[in-house]
């Protein structure tokens, strides 16, 4: 059923929207007239999707042909039903013509901003709040003339009760009727049938004849064959919960409320694989029960009254021995710094939280204090924290230089994001060789957790990153045929 036939079959209000073409620039009137006449014969792609004439019919379906507002979803391919037509009069001829149309789009979010802009109009006229106003747009049409340009004003829509396979690309629909005809290529058939979101919504008109498998020299078939036989995958993934063994590893995270996120921590295998879990900004109170199976709490600082961005807790695997070296909290005015130092074997692990408002000199004083205290017990030092000093800003390299004065080097890669704001304010320093620190994702916090561990590979637990895993699977071209018709009921 063609679009025109369907539209004329509707016994509803209708109108014709004619495009208005006009010239911009200087030139002879005769040439302008000729150019405007030629433009009328242009095809839709040459006029940026603005037709010369549109038959508007209430109840018919239409599709946007122009990206008039991408943020609002008013983009090429957005479909909906025409519900109402507004009219106005041309000043020169006093002719009544459509000036605005109201469409109910298939997707509720499409046109949300446009509806908000017309809220008062819709309320005063008692217009359904789900309708979106669409007005004519102006687009410049390329012509061979260099003296002036042609611009067209028209509604950015076309009827879409029926559409070509090409036009349907990128769209999905509840129900799709595919008119099978001779000469339809394999790729066209795939595009047409896969527009339906479910097999029960796909209807075929005509006899379905499965297309022949692609030839052996088909570019797609050759690509699959090459990938399966020649281009091997280099596999070097590391699974924290399986790779650590008895080696020491530390997780540090600005958890932004442990009481709220304790279940996420207790079910995260990466956290549970660590020897030590160090959390800051815990927002916890003394009454909170925060046990983690297999771990003991070796340091805890709670909020005294109300929950706030404050607090620290350190968990350690039950079998590990430790010694508390130092801990302190300064919380007055702008200054808010917390730290703890815990010795495990021959390493002191210092965790720090520094508020964004704390002066740099105050941070330096506390860093000097805790490192000096820790070095009385052992020389091997790791300092990890949320320092709220963004290392992506060059002026802040002074903090890196300050840590070097203690013989500590940054073991995180520079210019990596440690927060969702794409800043790097959480990182780790160490004066021991063979340690590295990296980030992984958090579903609950603005900050990414840090994982600190010895950078060595156990050949029994890792796949060497240079080892090539082959996937020499025979290519069955019939498999490709099944992909194309898998969704056909």
Same-domain check for residues 392 and 341 = yes
Give the integer Cα–Cα distance in Å for 339 and 367.
9
Q: How far, CA to CA in Å, does 105 sit from each of 133, 195, 229?
A: 11, 17, 47
Q: Where are the alpha helices (DSSP H) in 74-146?
A: 112-117, 119-124
Assess if residue 460 is contained within a domain. no
DSSP result, 403-422: HHTTT-EE-SPTT---BTTS
Q: What pLDDT is attached to residue 82?
A: 95
pTM equals 0.50
Distance CA 250, CA 226 (A): 43
Residues 311 and 213 in one domain: no
Asked if residue 464 is part of any domain, the answer here is no
> Is there a single domain that holds both residue 151 and residue 208?
no
Residues 109 and 60 in one domain: yes
* Domain-ending residue, one of 161, 187, 216: 161
Domain that holds residue 75: 11-161
> Based on the domain organization, do 290 and 438 belong to the same domain?
yes
Token pair belonging to 147: 């003296």
Can you tell me the distance from the alpha carbon of 431 to that of 433, in angstroms, rounded to the nearest whole number? 7
What is the residue-level pLDDT of the chain in tens, covering all 489 positions?
466 656 667 889 999 999 999 888 777 788 888 888 888 988 878 888 899 999 999 999 999 999 989 999 999 888 899 999 999 998 888 899 999 999 999 889 999 999 999 999 999 999 999 999 999 999 988 877 667 788 999 999 999 888 788 777 777 777 888 988 887 888 888 888 988 888 998 999 988 888 888 887 888 888 887 877 776 666 555 555 555 555 889 999 999 999 999 999 999 999 999 999 999 999 999 999 999 999 999 999 999 888 999 999 999 999 999 999 999 999 887 889 999 999 999 999 999 999 998 999 999 999 999 999 999 999 999 999 999 999 999 888 899 999 999 999 999 999 999 999 999 999 999 999 989 999 999 988 999 999 999 865 443 433 343 344 343 444 443 433 333 333 333
Look at residue 270 and tell me if it is in a domain. Answer: yes
Q: What is the pLDDT of residue 7?
A: 66
Rounded Cα distance, 81 and 144, in Å: 37
**423 Cα distance to chain centroid:** 18
Indicate the number of domains in the chain: 3
- The verdict on 141 and 183 lying in the same domain is no
Does residue 459 form part of some domain? no
**Residue 404 sits in the same domain as residue 272:** yes
Domain boundary among 108, 132, 161: 161
pLDDT of residue 241: 52
Same-domain status, 246 and 320: yes
397 within some domain: yes
Cα–Cα distance list, 3 to 7, 54, 60, 304 (Å):
6, 11, 9, 71
* pLDDT reported for residue 430: 97
Q: Are 63 and 127 part of one and the same domain?
A: yes
Enumerate long-range contacts of 403-409, CB under 8 Å, 24 or more apart: 403/367, 403/429, 406/367, 406/371, 406/381, 406/431, 407/431, 408/371, 408/381, 408/383
Task: Give the CATH number for residue 373.
Answer: 3.60.10.10
Regarding whether 135 and 76 lie in a shared domain, the answer is yes
- Residues 201, 171 share a domain: yes
Helix (H) or strand (E) holding 344: strand 335-344
* 264 plus 364 within the same structural domain: yes
């Amino acid at each position: 059923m063609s679009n025109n036939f369907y539209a004329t079959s509707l016994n509803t209000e209708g109108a014709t929207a004619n495009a208005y073409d006009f010239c911009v620039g200087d030139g002879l009137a005769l040439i302008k007239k000729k150019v405007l006449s030629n433009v009328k014969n242009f095809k839709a792609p040459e006029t940026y999707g603005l037709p010369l004439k549109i038959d508007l019919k209430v109840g018919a379906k239409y599709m946007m042909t122009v990206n008039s507002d991408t943020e609002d979803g008013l983009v090429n391919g957005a479909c909906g039903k025409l519900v109402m037509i507004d009219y106005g009069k041309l000043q020169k001829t006093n002719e009544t013509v459509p000036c605005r149309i109201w469409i109910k789009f298939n997707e509720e979010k499409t046109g949300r901003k446009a509806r908000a802009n017309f809220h008062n109009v819709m309320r005063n006229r008692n217009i359904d709040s789900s309708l979106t106003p669409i007005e004519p747009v102006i687009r410049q049409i390329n012509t061979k003339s260099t003296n002036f340009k042609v611009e067209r004003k028209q509604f950015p829509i076309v009827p879409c009760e029926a559409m070509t396979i090409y036009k349907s690309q990128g769209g999905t629909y509840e129900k799709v009727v595919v008119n099978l005809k001779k000469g339809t290529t394999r790729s066209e058939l795939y595009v047409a049938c896969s527009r339906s979101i479910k097999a029960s919504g796909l209807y075929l008109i005509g006899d379905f004849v499965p297309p022949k498998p692609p030839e052996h020299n088909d570019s797609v078939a050759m690509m699959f064959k090459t990938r399966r036989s020649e281009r091997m995958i280099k596999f070097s993934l590391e699974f924290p919960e399986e790779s650590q063994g008895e080696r020491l590893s530390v997780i540090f995270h600005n958890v932004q409320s442990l009481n709220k996120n304790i279940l996420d921590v207790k079910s995260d295998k990466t956290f549970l694989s660590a020897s030590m879990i160090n959390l800051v900004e815990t927002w916890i109170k003394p009454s909170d029960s925060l046990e983690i199976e297999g771990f003991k709490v070796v340091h805890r600082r709670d909020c005294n009254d109300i929950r706030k961005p404050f607090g620290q807790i350190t968990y350690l695997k039950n079998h590990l021995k430790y010694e508390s070296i130092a801990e302190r909290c300064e919380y007055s005015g702008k200054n808010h710094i917390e730290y703890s130092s815990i010795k495990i074997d021959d390493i002191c692990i210092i965790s720090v939280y520094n508020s964004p408002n704390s002066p740099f000199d105050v941070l330096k004083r506390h860093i000097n204090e805790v490192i000096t205290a820790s070095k009385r017990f052992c020389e091997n030092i790791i300092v990890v924290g949320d320092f709220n000093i963004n290392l992506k800003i060059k002026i802040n390299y002074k903090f890196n230089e300050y840590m070097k004065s203690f013989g500590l080097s940054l073991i995180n890669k520079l210019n990596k994001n440690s927060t969702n704001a794409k800043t790097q304010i959480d990182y780790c320093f160490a004066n021991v060789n063979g340690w590295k620190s990296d980030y992984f994702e958090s579903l609950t916090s603005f900050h990414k957790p840090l994982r600190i561990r010895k950078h060595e590979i156990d050949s029994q637990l890792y796949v060497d990153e240079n080892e090539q895993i082959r996937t020499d699977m025979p290519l069955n071209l019939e498999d490709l045929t099944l992909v194309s018709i898998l969704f056909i009921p």
